[in-house]
Structure 1
Amino acid sequence: MKVVPLRLQPGDDLRQALETWMGEQEEQAGCVISAIGSLSVAKLRFAGAAAATTIHGELEIISLSGTLSADGAHLHIAFADSRGAVIGGHLCPGSLVRTTAELVIGLLPEWRFSRELDPATGYAELRITPRAPG
């Protein structure tokens, strides 16, 4: 595993920045190892919901986990509001960094992750394949 630290800036779209960054890497599989920081806007989809919910405020990232591939990401986030109430769900585009997002990403050079529509779930699900030696 290759480990890479990243820092995102205020106003960056957390999900979009990670997807763009992953698309620029030689490796074709990645995962979030660690993430802390804050959001001013969080867009997340709750379990079973069809649409995303938008939350505004001073939000502290408690946890971010998921997989990254050149053709998309699957990320779940938990964050606390200014009262300490924690909420979480599927991270959607439109979640904006407030002050910083400090991330540690693991790149997996021996694997290829891709997203393919799974008829059983109706979602683009993770496909894992060994990467041919280069």
Structure 2
Amino acid sequence: MTIILNPAMLADSLAGGAVIGTASAGLLLVNGRIAGISGIFARATKPDATLWQWAFLAGLLAAGAGAALAGYPLPADITKQSLPLLALAGLLTGVGTRLGGGCTSGHGVCGLARLSPRSLAAVLVFMGVAGLTVFVRRHVL
């Protein structure tokens, strides 16, 4: 398989990474909280949820809606999958984040930046499982 680097795509990826890093650092500096999406979602669904948790989640949805309105297409791999398969993948991801004590944003973005050994172990596990899942999906099933 040949990988072709698209300069516009690379610029978008770098800009997106910079925004994610800035937002994560901002949340930590302003609120003293880690930008772990699964943890924020779990706390937002409890009776003592705070406004910033709901605002953070609304911002995630608004970013996706804004990208769609700006004409950014969904990744082709997503549009080729069935809705039940995507729902199952989302459910399994949610279960995995609870079992692993955090998600890719909490461990991968924030934890690695803080040089957390626990986050490094979590990232190695979930990236390894993700790679194995893609391999099995593409070559076995």
Give the TM-score of the pair, scaled to structure 1: 0.26
Structure with the higher strand share, 1 or 2: 1
Normalized per residue, the structure richer in helix is 2
**Which structure has the greater CA radius of gyration?**
2
TM normalised by structure 2 equals 0.25
Higher relative contact order (CA 8 A, sep 6+): 1
